[in-house]
Structures are given as C-alpha cells and as structure tokens.
Amino acid sequence: MFDKTLAELAKGLHQGEYSSVELTQAFLQRIQQQDSRYNSFISVCEDQALNQAKVADQAIATGTAGAFTGLPIAHKDILCTQGVRTSCASKMLDSFISPYNATVVERFNHAGAVTLGKTNMDEFAMGSSNETSYYGPARNPWNTDYVPGGSSGGSAAAVAGRLTPAATGTDTGGSIRQPAALCGITGLKPTYGRVSRYGMIAFASSLDQAGPMTRSAEDAAMMMNVMAGLDPRDSTSVDRAVPDYCAELNNPLQGLKIGLPKEFFTDQLNPELAQQTQNALKEFEKLGATLHEISLPNTSLSVPAYYIIAPAEASSNLSRFDGVRYGYRCDSPVDLEDLYKRSRGEGFGTEVQRRIMIGTYALSAGYYDAYYNKALQVRRLIQNDFVSALNEVDVIMGPTTPHPAFKLGEKTSDPVAMYMEDIFTISLNLAGLPGMSIPCGTANGMPIGLQIIGDYFAEQKLLNVAHQFQLATDWHQQSPEGTGEE
C-alpha cells in the first residue's frame, strides 16, 4: 500500500480493502523502521493518529465519510498542532507544545485526515537544504548522502521515502517546489492568500504560503480541496470562491500556450537537467500545447530583492522570541539585557541569526530607503514582468532548480551559492503567483523538477496541466531504491 497515491488509498478505504486503523498502523510501523535513514520526522503522533483513524473508520462504516476521511498525512513542523510539539526545527521552540491548531491542520482534522506526525525542516524555514535544522538534516531518499532540499525537506523526504502518502509544506521562496524537485515528488505553492497562514509560525509574512506535497497532481488537488479558502483569522486570506480542484484535471491541453522565459534557460543550468526539461516540453507539444519564448527581464534581481525583504520581515517576526513569554530561556540571566542576548544567541542557529542581522540592518535608520524600499520597488517590477507575460501565454514553464540535489555539506560554507539554488522559485513568492514542481526526469542520477507557473488563482489550470503530463509519463511513479512494497 506504500506505493499507492492518496486517490488510490481513498478508493481502497471506501471499498473496504483495509481500514484506516490498518493503514495508519502500516505507515507508523514504516516510519519506525525506515526514518532512521531519512530523519524526515521530528515528532510522530502515534496515539493521536490511531485515535483519529478509529473515528474515521466509524465515519466510513456509518456512511458519513468525506473524500479525505481516514487518509494519513504529515504536517511540516511549522504548523501549530494542538497538544503536539511545534518546534520550527529550532532549539528556540524545542519545548513548545502548541495550545491550538493552525487553520490548515484544523481543516484536515475536520476532513477526517489522520496526522502521522510533524516533519523536519530548515530552522524557522530558513534554508534550501534542510541542513539548518536543530534536529540534524533530513536526507534525500534517492541517495542519503544528498540533501532533500529545503525548507520543507522533511515533508519531501517523507513522501519520497513512502513514509507518508502526502504532507503539508510551506513556501516562502521555493520551499515547497525546490525540495519537491530534488526528491522527485509533486509540490504546489498556491497564490498568496489562497491558504490561511493562521497558526503557521511566521518567517516572512508577505511571502509565506502553505501548500500540498504529494505523489501526483491528482493528490495535490485533493489536498487543495481541504486547505484552500477564506479564514477570518488571517487578514491576508482572500475572500474568493474555492473551486473543486479535481473537476478539471482531465481537460485536454489542445491549444495551451506555454511561455518559456529565456532567463530560465541559460548556460548556468546543469546540462543533463536542461536536456530533460526540453524533453518534458516536447511531451507537452505532443499533448497539443504550443511553446513561445518570453522574457522576464528582472529575474536576476529576484534573489537580491528577496534577501532584503525576507530577512527584514524575519527580523520583525522573530523579535517575539525573547526568552520571556515562551520558547527557550537561558540559564541564570543576570539582568534583562543578558536574558535577551543569551536566550536569542543560544536559541537561534547560525542561519537564523544571519538573516535577523541582515533584516535589522536593512530596516535601520539611514538604510531603509537604500535597501528595503528599493527591494520593494524591484518586487513590483518582477510582478509586472509576470503579469505582462501571462497576458500572452496560459502558463509559464522552466526548470524548478538550476541543479539536481547536491551533497550534504557541499554548500553550507557558501551562503550565496545556497541562496542561488532558489533563483527560479523566489520570483513567484515576490509576485504572489501560484507555481508547482512536478518530476520530469533525472540528472546525475537524482530527480529533477519542471516548474509550472500560472496566473493568480489559476491553481486549477496548473493541476490540470500537471495531471495531463503525468498521465503521459511515469516520472512521478518512480521511487527510490528500497522504498517499494515490503
């Protein structure tokens, strides 16, 4: 059953092939047996999961079950989960037990989902490799010497390693799409405001967005049907009708106009990755789509603009972790200043400290206009590029990352090299657009992803395009060695 998609597992559940309790027990046992290789989970919720599964089986037996009832999933450890540690993979929150559920968690609970546990991540979602986690790096199931990507690396590794059928992730600058690409799974970043941020511990409030990480586009559509929608508790949540994301998956792609940004196809790309991306685009042509070269001229400015805006917002958001109200507190502070300094210095890791310092500097008097305000102006230019391009084409495509997964430790000493791994994903967060990554081949023996970008609230179209590609190819069905049925 570990190789089944959410849709296939749902069918089996409702046809009585197995119960939710049996399904949950199987995945919990698999996590216990396999996760020492991947380190993809921070917390496993065995008792809670089995209780939820029992309730789900009762709903199925009485005919009151919904489409998601009884399906096991995992949540990124940035989403508050009532009664469960929510750590953000940081020493700062290692002892924090959330008193409430994030809206995303709450909606899955109401839909009858079973929470297997909380997944590993980069500390406070700051990183592109899952190496900044206080609990040690998650590892890529395709080769455990390699990174799974970040910051949602634990979710990606858990899905790729068949420890969970699906997981939630969050995406601030590519943190769903990049690890999805590096681990060979499907990941969707919705339009900013489509999914509530309430209860999602904030990194950069104008960029963060939660989304699904799954085996297939069909599974991602099932998750979006649960996750999406207005939340009065989130002031950035958009009041817009939520479609049935599964309804248009089977629409043909005849006449689809695909834009190919020339800025995404440069000699900086890994050659094998570039070739596999071209092969994927040829598949779309076979499905009736047409390819059109476009330009997103400000793409090169996305990384510097992002690394002003995101740290500035992080500096503000993380100021609440001061050793006073909750979270890590240093031992025997001599005065209030010592409490602040040592609690934050000991509780935050190196990358988080670096971004707080950069953000504080950018927001300081005398530098605000030169850095932060200028970055906001660049952000608008990047958004305008996308709006203009999407007036001419239906979707935009290109590689999700410039390279396949890299070895653990390979880029930790060079933060700029690490930041550049997100060059194709960051611009979507700055613009607030939806985008997804789907498996489209391998390079250097590791999975790679094709990124599909759409207009605002065009998630239905992205899922349709991705699903049609997955009907024609089998990249999304391939699994790392040793993760098949046992």
- Euclidean distance between CA atoms 403 and 405, whole angstroms: 7
Taking CA atoms, 342 is separated from 89, 93, 190, 333, 361, in Å, by 19, 15, 38, 8, 20
* Residue that the structure tokens 């858990």 belong to: 158
Active site members: 76, 151, 175
Q: Phi and psi dihedrals of 466, rounded to 5?
A: -65, -40
Let me know if 426 is exposed, middle or buried by CB neighbors in 10 A (0-12, 13-18, 19+). Answer: buried
* Residue that the structure tokens 């996308």 belong to: 386
Q: Are 233 and 104 in contact (CB under 8 A)?
A: no
Buried b (16+ CB within 10 A) or exposed e, 90-123: bbbbbebebeebbbbbbbbbebbbbbbbbbbbbb
Parallel, antiparallel, or unpaired: how do β-strands 72-76 and 290-294 relate? Answer: unpaired
Peptide bond into 151 cis (omega under 30): yes
Query: Within 13 Å, how many C-alpha atoms sit on residue 131's CB side?
Result: 21
- Euclidean distance between CA atoms 59 and 65, whole angstroms: 5
The β-bridge partners of 24 are none
Buried b (16+ CB within 10 A) or exposed e, 145-174: ebbbbbbbbbbbbbbbbbbbbbbbbbbbbb
How open is the CA angle 105-108-112, to the nearest 5 degrees?
135
* Residue that the structure tokens 């602040």 belong to: 340
**Nearest to residue 59, comparing CAs of 4, 117, 6, 111?**
111
Using DSSP's 3-state secondary structure scheme, residue 242 falls into coil
How open is the CA angle 179-182-186, to the nearest 5 degrees?
65
Give the long-range contacts of residues 374-380, CB within 8 A, separation 24 or more: 374/308, 375/304, 375/305, 375/306, 375/308, 375/309, 375/312, 376/309, 378/298, 378/301, 378/304, 378/305, 379/305, 379/309, 379/430, 379/431
- 10 Å Cβ neighbour count for 133? 26
Residues belonging to the chain: 486
